[in-house]
Amino acid sequence: MPRIDFTSHRLYVDAPLTPKARVALDPPRANYLRNVLRLNDGAEILVFNGSDGEWRARLDAANRKSPALIAHEQTRAQHPPFDLHYLFAPLKHARLDYMVQKAVEMGAGQLRPVLTRRTQAERINLERMRANAIEAAEQCGILSIAEIFPPARLGALLEGWSPERLLIFCDEDAPVQDPIDALRAVPGAGPRPLAVLIGPEGGFDEDERQLLLAMPQALRLSLGPRILRADTAAVAALALIQASLGDWRSFR
């Protein structure tokens, strides 16, 4: 596995990447590279587009009216998108920004806002979510961009649930037990598609809880003796799941 270069600036680009590919820079990105990062003509950065791996590219800024990046060396091949789905009741603004960034850092490949009866913020800026997902990928050496889905009602989402994907839903009313033991005790919980669901800060109502408990693919999980805020619960749950059932296990 190639070592990730954290000393170079990384930039997501929405363009194909091949040897000598020229990636035109729009004014905001040109301004970011030249005036924020203060890079000069010929400076090198790392670029990725979510499908062609990571490339080293040179800044071609001699023509200020049409600055561009020129790809010249692939540093890492593309890896498959992460197959961990993160489902969550939406939060407001800054806390949603934080949660999206942390979910991406923890390996979520899909972000799915879920509307429940106690959801407090139903209007979501999907473009802002995507921008936060891209920023997290840029900063953390991730090569794929998490897929962002529009909000869906919990019942509608569960109706079309894949029987192969384990749905781990975190519930403050679940009996408190060791979450690692609970996750490792799942029958047939070897490598399989995973999803984690964090509900609203008011909790699931009883009808929603019973709907989830009736699913044969669902696992009810306690996150300990304290009630966590939703953005904190996201980090705690994703860390537990990655360590017990997810891609952290590949390092054992």
Q: What is the spatial distance between Cα 80 and Cα 1, in angstroms, rounded to a whole number? A: 14
- End-to-end CA distance of the chain, in Å? 15
Helix (H) or strand (E) holding 206: helix 206-213
Query: CATH number of 84-251: 2.40.10.10, 3.40.1280.10, 3.40.50.1860, 2.60.34.10?
Result: 3.40.1280.10
Ordered by start, the domain boundaries in the chain are 10-76, 84-251
Closest CA to 231 of 115, 84, 99: 99
Dihedral angle of Cα 29, 34, 35, 36, to the nearest 10 degrees: 70
| Amino acid symbol at 153 | R
What secondary structure, in 3-state letters, does 121-185 show? CCCCCHHHHHHHHHHHHHHHCCCCCCEECCCEEHHHHHHCCCCCCEEEEECCCCCCCCHHHHHHC
State pLDDT tens for residues 119-143.
877 789 999 999 999 999 999 999 9
> What is the structure's pLDDT at 188?
60
> What is the structure's pLDDT at 173?
83
Closest CA to 86 of 110, 104, 107: 110
Residue keyed to tokens 């934080």: 98
Asked whether the beta carbons of 46 and 55 are under 8 A apart, the reply is yes
State pLDDT tens for residues 181-224.
888 887 765 568 999 999 998 889 999 999 999 999 999 999 98
What is the reported pTM? 0.91
Asked whether the beta carbons of 165 and 195 are under 8 A apart, the reply is yes
State pLDDT tens for residues 51-103.
999 999 999 987 777 899 999 999 999 998 899 999 999 988 889 999 999 99
SS3 83: coil
Closest CA to 82 of 241, 232, 252, 211: 241
Q: What is the spatial distance between Cα 23 and Cα 29, in angstroms, rounded to a whole number? A: 11
Q: What is the spatial distance between Cα 52 and Cα 16, in angstroms, rounded to a whole number? A: 7
- Residue 249: CB partners within 8 Å, gap ≥ 6? 243
Residue keyed to tokens 């919980």: 189
Q: Is the pLDDT of residue 47 over 80?
A: yes
Question: Yes or no: is domain 10-76 CATH 2.40.240.20?
Answer: yes
> What is the structure's pLDDT at 190?
55
Dihedral angle of Cα 245, 172, 169, 147, to the nearest 10 degrees: -90
> What is the structure's pLDDT at 4?
84
